[in-house]
Amino acid sequence: MSQPLYDRAVEILARNDLGYYTVPTHGLYPFQWNWDSALSALGQSYVNEARAWTEIETLFVHQWPDGMVPHIIFHKEDDGYFPGPAVWDTGRAVPTSGITQPPVTGFAVRKLYERARDQPMARARAQTLLPKIHAWHDWFFATRDPERTGLVAIIHPWESGRDNSADWNAALSRVPTEDLDTSHRRDILHANPSHRPTNEQYQRYFWLVKHFRSLGWDTARLHDGSPFRVVDPGFNAILLRSCSDLAWLAKELGETEIAATAKTQAEKGLAAMDGLWSALHQQYLCYDRVLDAPIPCLTVGGLLPIFAGISPERSTQIAARLSALAERTTFMIPSHDPNTPEYDGERYWLGPTWLIVNYMIADGLTRDGHIDIAARIVTDSMKLIVESGFSEYYDPMTGAPCGGPHFTWTAAMVIEFLKQTGSVT
């Protein structure tokens, strides 16, 4: 049974491959997305190693001079997506958005390097990417952590990768809704509207884009200029894991200065992360930098720090919290705790299960020795694929497929799981 699944996953990667970048899925997301590409390169590395490196290199061709790597690169025109390049108007030769996404490339590049069959190629390509990824991390700490706390803020829900999470509701309510005729929305033409964000949320997302545009896309001004500034433990976990992995890679490649800085960034951030721990909820919480207060919302963002390399005590607590969730969930891991009023099993990040999150959390659990709960997450992930195909996300109770079909990073994660469990060789 495993080989046909593997073959189907490979077919999906090919279907969405435009030569030097891969779209998340045709129609709904017709451009290159930042963390989709980094995670998809993992699956691709088993299929075509050289092509996997290219996926990440293409992202960095479009890195901004200040170090930021944008969340979307609009390689070709496509009016099936809104807001397109004309709305962002960031002034780049190949248009890009002006915000970023979870920086998972440091992690992905280490993996690509470690598993490389072609070691000389991996060495050369990793060596070239290394300073670019490091510049992106430095950009984060310089512009998104002006008070040098060790943790960075996101300034738009889209940066988190968990677009409509309830984590953002309170902070987003400070953002005006005016001025968007929501008939411009294209996402609800491609996917069921009840699986997508609401019109009101779209208006606020749009307002933020226009506001940043009015600040001239000067990324040094956007943090302080944004009414939305949230420290997301999930986002920071990904950044800090990438810093640690980059430190490892830099040491391996003899880049001692990068290695030392990246290690310090990871250590400082991990120490600060503990300040987001909630003893009451037994998980991490987001923090609203404008209000200077935690956001008491039970989302998977607060469980992702297990990916970063937290203390054994916290790791055991997160494993216990996941085991408790597993008792009341059919398909782990719900993106929002089903026992809370905001939960909606089909609406995007308000409940649905996402394979990329499962992959990162299972990775942390396995590294920390929480084997049983990690195995449950992997088994559930594979069951979803068998029952519901390669969807964007799934209802954690019914397993129903939600969002877009033929999804690239879902296929990539299936390849990862099949390889990890030795189900295919």
Interhelix angle for 408-420 vs 355-367, to 10°? 30
User: With contacts defined by CB under 6 A, how many residues of the chain interact with ligand GLC?
Assistant: 7
> 33, 107, 98: which is closest to 72 by C-alpha?
33
Distance between start and end Cα atoms, the chain: 13
Query: Cβ distance 338 to 351 under 8 Å?
Result: yes
Judged by DSSP in three states, 96 sits in strand
Q: Does residue number 24 form part of the binding site for ligand GLC (CB under 6 A)?
A: yes
163 is catalytic: yes
Stretch that binds ligand GLC, among 29-37, 80-88, 275-283, 362-370 (CB under 6 A): 29-37
CA–CA gap between residue 137 and residue 135 (Å, rounded): 5
Q: Which is nearer to ligand GLC, 116 or 356 (CB)?
A: 356
Which amino acid would we find at residue 336?
H
Nearer to ligand GLC, 33 or 331 (CB): 33
DSSP H or E run through 295: strand 293-295
Select the residue interacting with ligand GLC from 35, 248, 331, 343 (CB under 6 A).
35
Residue type, 75: H
235 near ligand GLC (CB under 6 A): no
Q: Which is nearer to ligand GLC, 36 or 49 (CB)?
A: 36
DSSP 336: B
Identify the active-site residue in 17, 380, 392, 416. Answer: 392
Query: Minimum Å distance from CB 312 to ligand GLC?
Result: 30
Q: Nearest distance from residue 96's CB to ligand GLC, in Å?
A: 14
> Catalytic one among 89, 138, 163, 267?
163
Shortest separation between residue 407's beta carbon and ligand GLC, angstroms: 7
In the bound state with ligand GLC, the residue whose beta carbon lies nearer, of 66 and 163, is 163
Using CB under 6 A, pick the residue from 30, 95, 161, 302 that binds ligand GLC.
Answer: 161
**Whole-angstrom distance, CA of residue 161 vs CA of residue 164:** 9
- Taking the complex as a whole, how short is the minimal distance between the CB of residue 71 and ligand GLC, in angstroms? 7
For residues 381 and 393, what is the distance between their CA atoms, to the nearest angstrom? 11
163 binds ligand GLC (CB under 6 A): yes
According to DSSP, the residues that pair with 278 across neighbouring strands are 283
List residues binding ligand GLC (CB under 6 A). 24, 29, 33, 35-36, 161, 163
